[in-house]
Structure 1
């Protein structure tokens, strides 16, 4: 039975998430310089994840030369140094899985990352081959999170994912989509409670998920990964030439990237946002969104109104 808005499950989930958002004890991971990164619990287990992860779409799809990979090596190194763990990829992202696997192994970071990737093909055997390939490319024996990408061949892959999870080859299973046109389907699937994670598009410019899906994720104890946090960079175009408002200092925000990311991760149902970057300076800026205070509900409304008025 689906939990109601006032159900004990939802109250437990929101209370746990609110505790971390309120900077409660144990909610942070220590990083260099004495700073602390906010972490949120995965509702089904209580395991915590830093609220800022790392996406790899386009940015990690590079060749094998040292010159091409050098900036990404620094991005990955800096990501872990600043407290990050969840890195998200997909077979459809070109060479991204291979680059992540090579760099993480070379840097000795494999044991410090939470690996998330996807299955994106049709047919049971093709799905198995693709997932085996992802493990080889990432250079790992067990995956933290495998997701059915864009719900492609959902009924087939959900059976394989459940079997792999039972065998210990996958720790968590999930579903993804990048567009609100799929929200009806995502809602139906979330109500089954079969999946530990849902990944969806959510940003201050794309707030449709706030209406039904984020409350439903809290109801069903489903972790949420937010993709397209900058609305495919469209948000930066909207604020070009404008300064971050002075009142953003009230939630320890010093840049537009932090403004956009803090809006996302201040929602109590969001577990992690995954901005993608191949530039170390952008990585450092993004990671700062996981530090310090977060906006409360009233401030979030003020932030959304500010962006809407641009």
Structure 2
């Protein structure tokens, strides 16, 4: 799998991971739960490592912890999760719960979700980073009306990561946030990489561009992911799935050549 360096450390990060929203919010005994070990195996087999979760995703953190604890050989996961509550002490309690549920003593990336009470949480994150409990600090958001605040925080605070929605049909971050992250040395994780869910439906049935084979893409999902990771500011995309077939397809998008600017522009024209 292709990698891109995390700017703050130069650590290479595989460019496709998995998001656990919905797909991992299941319990043992549920048929959907039985497919999840293979989802992770397909990710790791392809060379991916990033597994992104959150306390807001129901049982997803606990499920992730359970599956990684039994994974053999030892899981190479780059674990990312979030804090989303008000007050420093409430944030500490929520993050301690994440450590327990994920069954780990170190979380690779802790993110302040939607910037909720970020000034209260950031000192804890910085302290825990110094102590080695977390390796990277980030923020997330998904609402364009908050992009001005996101921009201000990135300019004011040294951060390692921004997780933000970016898709072929949702490109609002291209004008200011992506260039800013590149200038400030902030890694970018793309969530909702298939937009609001309608993108693939709109493309389904249309013929793939004639050059798709040249970039080793055999589906619109792969082209949509290739569109994202070709942007020089993007570090990783995290499509969510609980289906091993889709995980394998998604992971394969980070193989082969990156799209050229001309190919990216052709995809933009196709979605209007």
TM-score band w.r.t. shorter chain: over 0.9
| TM-score, normalised relative to structure 1 | 0.85
Does structure 2 retain, via aligned residues, the 8 Å contact 1:178–1:228?
no
The correspondence for 2:7, drawn from 43, 56, 61, is: 43
Q: 1:109 to 1:56 in 2, by over 3 A?
A: farther
Does structure 2 retain, via aligned residues, the 8 Å contact 1:180–1:201?
no
Deviation larger for 149-158 or 235-244: 235-244
| TM-score, normalised relative to structure 2 | 0.97
**Alignment match, 2:179:** 215
Query: Do structure 1's residue 249 and structure 2's residue 217 form an aligned pair?
Result: no
- Give the 5 Å matches for 1:1-310: 37-65=1-29, 67-108=31-72, 111-308=75-272
Does structure 2 retain, via aligned residues, the 8 Å contact 1:193–1:220?
no
SS at match of 2:137: strand
Unaligned residue ranges in structure 1 (runs of 5+): 1-36
Aligned length in residues: 272
Question: Which 4+ residue blocks in structure 1 deviate beyond 6 angstroms?
Answer: none
- 2:46 & 2:215 partners in 1: Cα distance? 19
Shift of 1:110: 5.4
Does structure 1 retain, via aligned residues, the 8 Å contact 2:18–2:240?
yes
**Alignment match, 1:20:** none
Q: CA RMSD in A?
A: 1.2
Does structure 2 retain, via aligned residues, the 8 Å contact 1:123–1:156?
yes
- 1:232 & 1:75 partners in 2: Cα distance? 22
Unaligned residue ranges in structure 2 (runs of 5+): none
- 2:102 & 2:188 partners in 1: Cα distance? 23
